[in-house]
Structure 1
């Protein structure tokens, strides 16, 4: 009986080995891109949707149509495009200064905080990388805040500290005009970069664990910030000057210096920043209807150029949605998966794509938080 049973088992095993293997369906490029995009924590470091939040009758929780010109971002389209976290910009023109700028900034901060309070099951206020990850794990969108322009601190480190307490996690040193302490790329030089107080602002941002943002600043301000900062920096929404000569874009040397210090350049989707042809036409005041069209693939070109300079761990996404004219094919946030698919088609690894989509900026946020803790601990010991 034992020998017979052994023969039966052997025969069954032999037949099983000879049976044709079941065919496995290969993952299509589209399915692979969708899977990776869903697995990633996708972060955008600059959306100007904050201005819409205070508009009567406008609802962030309702899907709007991009062709109507209403806006680029709302909750349904964030879900559709897989955008898991965004820095809501605290912005007003640099010509608004003094107490009025502080008042308006506080109102914008309140808009973001109230949005998260009114919809706690959908949106979570986040101030750290850990809170972004926790929100993502819970299926909630993470709302962070970045302040677009040093004019809003009203030349006061005390005001800056209050913004940090309210949740602001980066400060753009200057916007399109100079502040009293920082030169802008959109204005004539007044300070030869950062003044002594401007350098104090950078040091205080380091101590507070708030990212120093060098988008919009003059080249000299950039180099002063790089030299002064003890923490890696961010370019929250900038692109490559080697592709489009707009002064808002970064030179190759600037990108290398930013990456060399551990920072991240977040690629901007603004058509004038993406296309030199478009930028030059704008400079010649060509009527808007006659301006060259720009395709969304240009975003990928800028990402690819930056990666070739500093590698895939120092590049991310900073769209400028709701604050600029976006390229054809990237009409709103729902189109974000196109970028993932395009990077994979170029041969980027899954991890490289996930890094660009969000892991790089989360790492930077963690590093800046860590520098802040170290500086505060060192100051406490010396007291």
Structure 2
């Protein structure tokens, strides 16, 4: 049924691809693959801008909320030198959607973690309301597409940290009602180095019922594999590259990348020097590798800006995305694969989460499980 759902939406997505340059056309290649046909004789950077005008970047991670809460004043519309991310640079980079991290510093647990997450949710909503001409809150694939079609950057709330739940499925439902759409499954007693506990599995099932996407970046390999087995919806890795190229603990080994591809999940490669390397070519190497191992339908982009990390040259802020796409064009990436990388794969994951939630709500009531009942 999920494949049928993808087929039904594919034609709709093609009609949404506004902003094409004259002389360009869109061709449908399959349920989730489509391409912008541009002038093959034009320069790679010019072609990159044309492709991104039709298939903007759905960026998997920004740490902006935590940074903004510590600034006495900022203006994201005029441009803000104290952060990596503002509206002019997002527009220059053709960013059409952005996941706003609600992650917390290490050490915040229990009620403090829940309270800090609620404060960050409130902050992101306030920022979106303050810039209505640039930003729009979105919670579904349709709302993301609608925001883009109206010239706005879609704001998706999450990922949050697992500690934000306070070991309560009721809090998970409350966070979802407030807009949460992604949760990182690590750093909790029920999602640890030992893997998912029985309560952790129930958390994943309830996330499926609600439409909250599981993020397994930074989770243990046992946790990742168990999430693949339990989740009926596609899984995200919001900040993971290829461990075969760079042995960072958050990067995925080839075996997990292959399993992620088989599960139709999405590995969003970060633009950080620590995880991918110091140049745009290093980032492209990781994208090549993930695409080869997991498949073109399972690779995406994660700026990871404003997260306290150094970034590769030419990718110091979101305005650098055209340079990355130009590098991929030089390497022979077909425009259909670039369209999936930047926009189509994230839309597929969001549609999968929406579809799974609607189906689960027909057969499953809200879970009343407690951690003491399952893991006690």
Q: TM-score, normalised by structure 2?
A: 0.83
Deviations along 1:278-297, one digit per CA (max 9) or x if unpaired, are xxxxxxxxxxxxxxxx1122
Deviations along 1:114-148, one digit per CA (max 9) or x if unpaired, are 11222222210010111111111100111111133
Tell me the CA shift for residue 25 of structure 1.
Answer: 11
Q: CA RMSD in A?
A: 1.6
Q: Does 1:31 align with 2:49?
A: no
Unaligned runs of 5+ in 1: 1-23, 184-188, 276-293
- Among 151, 164, 167, which residue is 2:179 paired with? 167
How far, CA to CA, are the matches of 1:297 and 1:359 in structure 2?
23
Deviating more after overlay: 28-37 vs 151-160 = 28-37
The verdict on how the C-alpha distance between 1:25 and 1:36 changes in structure 2, with shifts beyond 3 A counting, is closer
Q: Is the 8 A contact 2:135 2:154 kept in 1?
A: yes
Q: Is the 8 A contact 1:44 1:318 kept in 2?
A: yes
1:280-291 alignment, distance < 5 Å: none
Tell me the CA shift for residue 319 of structure 1.
Answer: 1.9
Q: Secondary structure at the match of 2:101?
A: strand
Match of 1:63 in 2: 79
Q: Is the 8 A contact 2:45 2:323 kept in 1?
A: no
How far, CA to CA, are the matches of 2:55 and 2:328 in structure 1?
14
How far, CA to CA, are the matches of 2:106 and 2:68 in structure 1?
20
Tell me the CA shift for residue 326 of structure 1.
Answer: 1.0
Superposition misfits of 4+ residues, deviation over 6 angstroms: none
Q: Is the 8 A contact 2:176 2:210 kept in 1?
A: yes
How far, CA to CA, are the matches of 2:335 and 2:134 in structure 1?
28
- Among 309, 321, 335, which residue is 2:320 paired with? 335
How far, CA to CA, are the matches of 2:128 and 2:83 in structure 1?
20
How far, CA to CA, are the matches of 1:29 and 1:296 in structure 2?
14
Deviations along 1:3-36, one digit per CA (max 9) or x if unpaired, are xxxxxxxxxxxxxxxxxxxxx9953333222111
Q: Is the 8 A contact 2:117 2:160 kept in 1?
A: no
The verdict on how the C-alpha distance between 1:94 and 1:369 changes in structure 2, with shifts beyond 3 A counting, is farther
Deviations along 1:78-133, one digit per CA (max 9) or x if unpaired, are 01111111000001124101111111111110111111222222210010111111
Q: Does 1:53 align with 2:38?
A: no
How far, CA to CA, are the matches of 1:123 and 1:247 in structure 2?
33
* Larger RCO (alpha carbons 8 Å, 6+ apart): 2
Tell me the CA shift for residue 214 of structure 1.
Answer: 0.4
Match of 2:290 in 1: 306
How far, CA to CA, are the matches of 2:160 and 2:302 in structure 1?
13
- Among 144, 159, 162, which residue is 1:132 paired with? 144
Q: Secondary structure at the match of 2:183?
A: strand
Q: Does 1:346 align with 2:331?
A: yes
The verdict on how the C-alpha distance between 1:41 and 1:25 changes in structure 2, with shifts beyond 3 A counting, is closer
Q: Secondary structure at the match of 1:146?
A: strand
The verdict on how the C-alpha distance between 1:25 and 1:268 changes in structure 2, with shifts beyond 3 A counting, is closer
Match of 1:215 in 2: 217
- Among 190, 212, 237, which residue is 1:181 paired with? 190
Aligned residues: 325
Tell me the CA shift for residue 304 of structure 1.
Answer: 0.5
Deviations along 1:36-92, one digit per CA (max 9) or x if unpaired, are 111113110110011233221122223134xxxx32111111011111110000011
Q: Is the 8 A contact 2:240 2:269 kept in 1?
A: yes
Q: TM-score, normalised by structure 1?
A: 0.82
Q: Which has the larger radius of gyration?
A: 1
Unaligned runs of 5+ in 2: 1-38, 366-376
Q: Is the 8 A contact 1:94 1:149 kept in 2?
A: no
How far, CA to CA, are the matches of 2:248 and 2:358 in structure 1?
37
Match of 1:236 in 2: 238
Q: Is the 8 A contact 1:41 1:359 kept in 2?
A: no
How far, CA to CA, are the matches of 1:252 and 1:148 in structure 2?
26
Match of 1:6 in 2: none
Deviations along 1:262-282, one digit per CA (max 9) or x if unpaired, are 11100012222114xxxxxxx
Deviations along 1:165-209, one digit per CA (max 9) or x if unpaired, are 1111110011xxx312111xxxxx4xx211111111111111111
How far, CA to CA, are the matches of 1:319 and 1:362 in structure 2?
17
Q: Secondary structure at the match of 1:43?
A: strand
